[in-house]
A = this chain, B = another copy of it.
Amino acid sequence: MSREYFIGVDLGGTKILAGVFDGNLKCLITDKNKTKAALGYSGVKGRIIETIRGALHLAGIDISRVKGVGIGAPGTISKDGERVLFAPNLDWREVPLKTDIEAELGCPVWLGNDCSLATLGIHKCELDSKPNNMVCIFLGTGIGAGIIANGVILEGETQAAGEVGHMVLDTEGPVCGCGVRGCYEALASRTAIYNKIKNAVENGKQTVLAEDDGKTLTKIRSGKLRRAVEAGDKLAIRVLDETCFYTGVAIANLCNLLNPEVIVIGGGMVDQMGETMLPKIKDAAFNRIMLGAREVRIIVSKLGDDAGITGAAVLAYDNA
């Protein structure tokens, strides 16, 4: 039988998602595993293989019918596309992921940056207008972005473009994980939200997000935050409003700089609360976008969590 399927892998710091795609880039089935980054490169590499084999098994498709595998990694990729140069969340430096996975699977593999690939997936499989200029912003624990400029993914001189989370929006703002004051990520990510709620709880504020009679705070996932907002929790609503405000400011900055046709927002928080967030984001953005750039559309990605695997499959599809 001919090789007609593609695999897209989204390798994250906490989970690995793999999807089997047909020749029309339709996703047939996905499988998921924890990354267990602490296992190191060789352990995580094994878990990538396991997740790919799991998805193929669920789809009832043999690896011999796969034309190519795309993998989106949370870091910078070497210019030759062979190595992950630096992936802080995985603690990887200079690992030959492409050749290693190819050797295991006996099938061609291509690597890309996770945010760039998710942007490619949204461009190819979600947006009919195929914009020449667009930005996708992914809101989660951190904040990343992919930029398409003059019709091509913008990788920059050293494959480091798209770090929208480290755009300073408030020089007097809170200190970011990167050490700089007032980065967008320090003002609006899920990590920023957690820090704000933790501070408020320590200062005696009431919220359904806290346990033990409102004294302690465990991890805040996006679903938990959504339920608190829906329950009318004032603190949850306030911090989500702040995330929408700074997201709107960040989008306005991007529009004034790059004058894109579309801005797409995605990621964990947007998957859970995109429709609640969108009007507030648009309000903050359109109050700041210059006249000449105001035709921009600001939308929520419908691909959600599948944007990454879709883009990875597109990478394989375009190259195989």
Contact = CB atoms under 8 A, between A and B. Distances in A.
Contact of A290 (B150, B163, B171, B291): B163
Interface in A151-168: 152, 154-164, 166-168
B157 A150 contact: no
Contact of A132 (B157, B259, B261): B157
Contact of A257 (B150, B161, B172, B295): B161
Chain A interface main SS type: loop
A256 B170 CA distance: 16
A288 B173 CA distance: 14
B257 A167 contact: yes
Interface in A124-154: 131-133, 145, 147, 149-150, 152, 154
Interface of A: 76, 86, 131-133, 145, 147, 149-150, 152, 154-164, 166-172, 178, 180, 182, 246, 249, 252-254, 256-261, 287-288, 290-293, 295-296
Contact of A133 (B157, B293, B295): B157
Contact of A150 (B152, B180, B252, B292): B152
A158 B257 contact: no
Given A162-B257, A171-B249, A257-B147, A156 B293 contact: yes
